[in-house]
A and B are shown apart, each in its own frame.
Chain A
Amino acid sequence: MSSPANDPQLNSEPEPKFSVRSLWKIFGKNADGIIGGEYERQDRDTVREATGCTVAVRDVSFDVLPGEIFVVMGLSGSGKSTLIRCLTRLIEPTAGSVVLDGTDIRECSPQELRELRRHKAAMVFQHFGLLPNRKIIDNVAYGLEVRGQGRAERHARAREMIEMVGLAGYEDSKPGQLSGGMQQRVGLARALAVDPEVLLFDEPFSALDPLIRRDMQQEVLRLQRELRKTAVFITHDLSEALKLGDRIAIMRDGELVQVGTAEELVGRPADDYVRDFVADVARTDVLTVRWLMRDPREGEPLDGPTAEPRTVVREIVPLLAEGTAPVRVMDGDRLLGVVGRTEVLRIIAEDQSDDGKLGTGPQPLADGAEA
């Protein structure tokens, strides 16, 4: 189901859009005293008991590249919402730096910050945050309104966005008259209306039914591909993460445990927490032949079928079934390596053993472990 991530890091390293360094957010009184103090390295519960402060985000660093969808996952309470709010200082970070396009957001004056929020980065909220007294169209136009755009102009734009999220005809309704999923789409339209360079999504699709959710995911992918929007995307849904995420960050108790492509998380989980997170994923659907390939062995036949480096393992299973020669991984005319039956069987076996652990029993090969 998921296509392999097109890893932007493969291309020549561009300037990051967001560059987050040693970001901390601690809630509570005298939070400042904790960093650099005796409790800095203590775990969350210890700190809370000793000081009454909650370490919501702990020493987090990562880069988001232009045009990338950067997904953040983690258990409830792991600090995802706090982290994403720190990116535009909706929550004031306790320490660290957030650099957007070369400017440190923490140094911004209130005016600069406002300009940035008006033009550069817009957010879609977990709980929508619509204004119940305004019509849908005025909710969507809100960002343009505070920017000082004229009524006719902003309504035209808002109408366009409402249409795009599939709510045409509801312009004059009030949010209270819409279902949760519809309200969530209004939130999306509102963020898109200001045409920001960066979109910040805090579980934006959690209230949508599967069909509309898929449409909206497509929309996000389209925005990224066609308009080169950068996005930070929080989700609880692993399949959503795999589908959208160029890279995925896993958070636990405020810390980033691992950041990487789906393949890296699945293929080389940093610890058991990450392993648990990705346990349900079929490795054959995520791992690519490039990840699996090895150099050809002495005397191995090199006349087998060929595959692009980004082909996922599942797609070469039928090829291997046809003959005994390993699949050649080719970048154009160049031979990068080969993948043989053993490697593929190992991956399949791993998937199966995960499923065995879950008690669902062995699965037919062709279906992988997707059920």
Chain B
Amino acid sequence: MATETTPRTAAGPDGGQDGLLHRTWIRVAAVFAVLIAGYGLLRGQMPFPDSLDVGLGALFDDVYAWIVENRNTSPLFLYGFNYASVGLGSAVILINQGLTLLTPLGVIVLGTFAAWRVAGAKVAAFTLATFAVFGLLGLWDQAMTTLSLIITSVLLALLIGIPLGIVAGRRPGFERALRPVLDFMQIMPAFAYLMPMLLLFGIGNPAAAVATTVYAIPPAVRITALAIRGVDKGALEAAESLGSTRRQILAKVQLPLAKRTIMLGVNQTIMLAVSMVVIASVIGAGGLGDAIYQALNKVDVGRAFEAGLAIVLMAIALDRITAAAGDEARGPHVPPALRRPLLIGGLLATAAAVVVGRLAGLADWPREVRISISDWVNAANTAVQDVFGGFTAWLAEATLNLLLDPLRSVLTDSPWWLVVLAAAALGLALGGWRIALVGGVSILACGLLGAWEESMDTLSQVVVAALATVVVGFAIGVLASRSDRLAAVLRPILDAMQTLPPFVYLIPAVALFGIGRIPALAAAVVYALPPVIRLVNDGIRGVSANTVEAAESLGSTRRQMLLKVQLPLARHSLLLAVNQGIMMVLAMVVIGALVGAGALGYGVVFGMAQNQLGLGMTSGLAIVCLGLFLDRLTQSAAR
């Protein structure tokens, strides 16, 4: 990932930078000291005053009442959202019906053929196995629903994202205008915008499709713009010099040359769609996500595991296929003359499979061909609980009593203004006046929204989980950077972990820790670890070999090398790792509400479940504020 810039590498570790770093940490420590002192003196005496609640919640409740009343009369809904909703719903249903029409056999033949054609035999075999798992676990229909949702939202996201990206790539002004919007969309935790979707589109697949689309658009735009901008300037100029129109340049030069990179964007878009489509089960998306959601609600780890396995396999298969799609070399070699016959052959084979399937009475996956592993999983889980239960319980207890509760108490029981000031002071120490302002205002906003205690609760969870992530992630990352073997072992694991939808991380967490804040934290830590490990490893490895050699020649020990050369030089990557880690922790902690982590996430879930728009919206907005605060703070430190 982000590599060292030459000047810094060239400059080497100088005392000035170290000194600066020290001063920053002293300031940060001072801020915490003041906060704790204030807590000690004025504990519980100055909660966030109700008078400062700007009444946004009530306002949203009114809006909700209005919408419920006018949903079937207001032109905005009659001709706008309702149409979109019906259209999207129909699209999902249509695709789903298409998949049903193909019968499982047809879907399998088509899917496997497509996988083979773009990504080769190995991926095809994996795809085949994935389909088999869907059927064997009795999740075929759910998987097809999820797939239809993914297809609908990805198509929509690409339909919007790629043209926007093309325009952005060709017009720097447009891109500048778009960038803050995209930034904002990307730091906003997915959970935060489920509520408005629900409101506008009603519960069900349409709302889920829109939420998923919105979530998946930014990478499509970003990467397309990047790809268009990256097209060789010389080729563009030459095309221009021969009198190409702007359209010809786009069609004959920019798009063909950007194709490969754009396919990367498509891959990213699909992966985001997969993760969101699962989360969107909270607003009524059917399919595998719903299966997990239901199972988690009943703490049926076995059933959740089955559905989780299915979505994980689907995610990996989609990732492998689309990652290969931009790269012809990855598929089997087919001479150009045979391409069309091959395609027709594949389609014919699919058609034959459909006919055979229907004639053989296999319109659905046969009921007899099923294996349920949920009982085994539950048994295994019980066994694990028997062995480790004591340890996990102890760990959970310790974390709660020693870290989580004290921190929450400091944040919620300190005078509210002190917390706001502390946020601003942290911003000042890490980034300067602008960050101080953003930090103070966003924390203050949490209170103004009427979600002060919940926000502080969420913040305490984020801080604890982020600490754990950073400690573990840095340790593993440093080890990996020093051992090629460990790095080689880790790479495929991290790859796989990064393709998993966040939702499924909750399943093992619940299996080990039951319900509450602790499983949410555990899931958050595991979810955020891969990018942290990766950035730390890459950052240290990215330190110029020359510098390392020079330090070695001066007789540094390995420890000195790490502390005095590699870590300081990799500083940028390390801080980026902290930023990424924290943002991912936040996203997961909020989702943790589904397994009883409470706080802001609970406000969203409860608001949605009970039609309390005010609560849901204010909680969502507070999440956004926290996200803004954490992102700006850590990002400015990384600069």
Listed in ascending order, the chain A residues whose CB lies under 8 Å from chain B are 85, 88, 90, 113-119, 122-123, 125, 127-134, 142-143, 145-147, 187, 190, 194
Contact = CB atoms under 8 A, between A and B. Distances in A.
Given A117-B242, A128-B238, 20 more contacts: A88-B241, A117-B243, A125-B234, A125-B237, A127-B234, A129-B232, A129-B234, A129-B235, A129-B236, A129-B237, A130-B235, A131-B252, A131-B253, A131-B257, A132-B235, A133-B256, A142-B239, A145-B252, A146-B244, A146-B248
Contact of A142 (B242, B245, B257, B259): B242
B238 A125 contact: yes
A344 to B, nearest CB: 47
10 contacts: A123-B241, A128-B234, A128-B238, A129-B236, A131-B253, A131-B256, A133-B256, A133-B257, A133-B259, A147-B243
Contacts of B248: 146
Contact of A143 (B234, B242, B253, B256): B242
A122 B242 CA distance: 6
B552 interface: no
A311 B236 CA distance: 46
A231 to B, nearest CB: 15
Contacts of B259: 133
Nearest to B260: A133
Contacts of A115: 243
B250 to A, nearest CB: 12
A187 B234 CA distance: 11
Interface residues on B, range: 10 to 19
B240 interface: yes
For the complex of A and B, the 6 pairs showing the least CB-CB separation, nearest first, are A129-B238, A118-B243, A117-B243, A129-B234, A143-B242, A123-B241
A145 B243 CA distance: 10
A113 B245 CA distance: 10
Interface of B: 232, 234-245, 248, 252-253, 256-257, 259
A116 B243 contact: yes
A114 B245 contact: yes
Nearest to B240: A90
Contacts of A114: 243-245
Q: Which of B232, B238, B244, B248 has the most CB of A within 10 A?
A: B238
Given A129-B235, A131-B235, A90 B241 contact: yes
A131 B257 CA distance: 8
A92 B82 CA distance: 50
B238 A123 contact: yes
B252 A122 contact: no
A126 to B, nearest CB: 8
Contacts of A134: 256
A123 B245 CA distance: 17
B242 A194 contact: yes
A130 B241 contact: no
Contacts of B238: 123, 125, 128-131, 187, 190
B241 A117 contact: yes
A125 B238 CA distance: 7
B242 to A, nearest CB: 4
Contact of A122 (B239, B241, B245, B253): B241
A146 B237 contact: no
A118 B240 CA distance: 9
Nearest to B244: A146
A87 to B, nearest CB: 10
A146 B245 contact: yes
Contacts of A130: 235, 238
A340 B235 CA distance: 56
A139 B531 CA distance: 42
A127 B257 CA distance: 17
B235 A143 contact: no
B241 to A, nearest CB: 4
Contacts of B234: 125, 127-129
A114 B236 CA distance: 14
A73 to B, nearest CB: 22
A165 to B, nearest CB: 16
Contact of A146 (B236, B243, B256, B257): B243
Nearest to A111: B245
A143 B248 CA distance: 11
Contacts of B242: 117-118, 122, 142-143, 146, 190, 194
A132 B245 contact: no
Tell which of A113, A127, A129 has the most Cβ of chain B within 10 Å: A129
Nearest to A127: B234
B243 A131 contact: no
B246 to A, nearest CB: 9
A354 B27 CA distance: 69
A85 B239 CA distance: 13
Nearest to B245: A114
A130 to B, nearest CB: 7
B357 to A, nearest CB: 40
Given A131-B253, A146-B248, A90 B237 contact: yes
Contacts of B243: 113-119, 143, 146-147
Contacts of A116: 243
A189 B248 CA distance: 21
A279 B236 CA distance: 38
A145 to B, nearest CB: 8
Contacts of A142: 239, 242, 252
Nearest to A187: B238
